[in-house]
Amino acid sequence: MMKKILLVGLIALSAIGVRSSEVPLFRISGLTFDFHKTWSLSAGKSSMTKASMTYLIDGKPTGPSADFFHFGQGQGGGVQANLDRWKKQFQGSPTTKEETRKVGERSWHFVRIDGTFLKGRPFGPKAPVADQRMLGAIVEDAGGTVFVKLVDGQAAVSEAVEKAFIKLIESAL
């Protein structure tokens, strides 16, 4: 049984574009992310999630996890529609910071949302969880938009995690 689980995991990681090299790289759409020394890559947690990366604390994957979504070219909705949907995943009027960032000629969209997150499966019941923080990234690419979302407690999503998240996204641009 353990061999089957390991084999399925290796197949999943190869399918999402992980390469074995000195610098660990993860490819999705036309983007290649360098998660060297800061993140640990694992297969997605659901059929919609292409992969997850967990922030390393003392070299161990015990920090918050970022989920990567890619639905294909022309799929997944527009930038503003997704930013608005992410804000609606919080109760009331959360504190929001949105910005468009540029790396060279490429731009991407960043959002940080603090407040009470409504946790639950899409279209299912939701449970309010106070003092949560979401970091979100939307990167438009010719092969389809890539969406990255990290949600955890505000204390867990520290300034260091936010900086590492931004560096991870910008490594692909």
Q: Please give the domain boundaries of the chain with CATH numbers for all domains.
A: 2-170 (3.40.1000.10)
pLDDT at position 56 over 50? yes
> In whole angstroms, what is the distance from residue 73 CA to residue 91 CA?
31
Lowest mean pLDDT among 11-20, 75-84, 104-113, 136-145: 11-20
pLDDT, position 90: 98
Lowest mean pLDDT among 2-6, 61-65, 112-116: 2-6
Token pair in block for residue 159: 């300034």
User: Which spans in 71-142 are helix H?
Assistant: 79-87
> How do residues 141-164 score in pLDDT, each as one tens digit?
988 999 999 999 999 999 999 999
> How do residues 18-48 score in pLDDT, each as one tens digit?
444 456 788 999 899 998 789 999 988 787 8
Q: Is 161 helix (H, G, I), strand (E, B) or coil?
A: helix
154 versus 6: the higher-pLDDT residue is 154
Asked if 172 contacts 117 with a C-beta cutoff of 8 angstroms, the reply is no
pLDDT, position 23: 60
The dihedral sign for the CA sequence 8, 50, 47, 41 = positive
> How do residues 88-131 score in pLDDT, each as one tens digit?
999 999 999 999 999 988 899 999 999 999 999 888 999 999 99
Partnered with residue 71 across adjacent β-strands are none
Say which residue the tokens 């407040």 belong to: 115
- Please provide the DSSP assignment of 40-91 as one string: EEEE-SSSSEEEEEEE-BTTBS-S-EEEEEE--TT-S--HHHHHHHHHTTBS
